[in-house]
Amino acid sequence: MYNLFYRTMQTAVGVFGGESHLDGSSVPPLMVENAGNSGHFAISSSNCPPIIAVELCREHLGVHPCDKRRSIREYESLFPAIDFSLIENNEDVLWKADVREPNNDVAARGSKFIDWLWSRKEKEIAIVTHSGFLFHTLQQFGNGCHPSVKDEISKHFANCELRSMVLIDKSVIGSDPPTTNYPGKIPQGSDLPSDVASEKHPEENCTSN
């Protein structure tokens, strides 16, 4: 049985991988043929964005066998073009058979992952990870926002759900008044959230006879 760590890489390959890998190609395959007894042909890494395995964004750790990863050397043989250089230990030293990772620890790990994202030079990054990790990580954000925004940020992801988010460093934002409520304020003007607009401007929602 393959675990969530493997399934995450398989998903990334399915989304960002190219055509079938041809023998004699100058680039390594993103995924080898029949990886994990999948019966799938090899996937080329040609024209594929860099894919980096980051252990900080693993799923909730401990107790559940599906959350334990296999050795990095095994994954390297299955996904030759994925960069595993940031993972220090070949074996899984984070997963504990008798201890479930506390929710606060998952959130703290998520904060470290966000810090790592800030260190990247790329402006657009796709994160392929897990619902539990995202839920506890994103619950830390949006506390100063309108409740509808906070709920949208932190609600559970559905299976294979895709969301786009923008991370903003508020320390470098100028003094101009915000035009959305993501900085933590309800904006003035017509760009209010639709569910509160009628409360703020009831006269604009009246129908003239």
List pLDDT tens digits, range 8-66: 998 898 888 877 766 667 788 889 888 877 778 888 888 889 999 999 999 999 999 99
pLDDT-derived band at 141, boundaries 50, 70, 90: confident
In the chain, the number of structural domains is 2
* 27 plus 52 within the same structural domain: yes
Same domain, residue pair 98 and 200:
no
Residues 113 and 193 reside in one and the same domain: no
Are 104 and 147 contained in the same domain? yes
- Beta carbons within 8 Å of 184's beta carbon, 6+ residues apart: 143, 144, 145
Same domain, 163 and 177: no
Same domain, 23 and 101: yes
Residues 13 and 65 in one domain: yes
Q: What is the pLDDT of residues 151-173, one digit of tens each?
A: 888 888 888 888 888 887 776 65
Q: Which domain holds residue 61?
A: 4-167
Q: What is the pLDDT of residue 24?
A: 61
Residue 142 confidence (pLDDT): 84
- My answer on whether 199 and 159 are in the same domain is no
Are 152 and 181 in contact by the 8 Å Cβ rule? The answer is: no
- Which pLDDT score is estimated for 70? 93
**15 & 106 share domain:** yes
Quick one: pLDDT at residue 6?
87
Are residue 192 and residue 91 in the same domain, yes or no? Answer: no
Q: What is the pLDDT of residues 57-116, one digit of tens each?
A: 999 999 999 999 999 999 999 999 999 999 999 999 999 999 999 999 999 999 999 999
Verify that 132 and 149 share a domain, yes or no. Answer: yes
CA dihedral over 152, 153, 155, 160, signed as positive or negative: positive
Taking phi over 0 as left and psi of -120 to 50 as alpha, with beta for the rest, 18 belongs to beta
**126 lies in the same domain as 190:** no
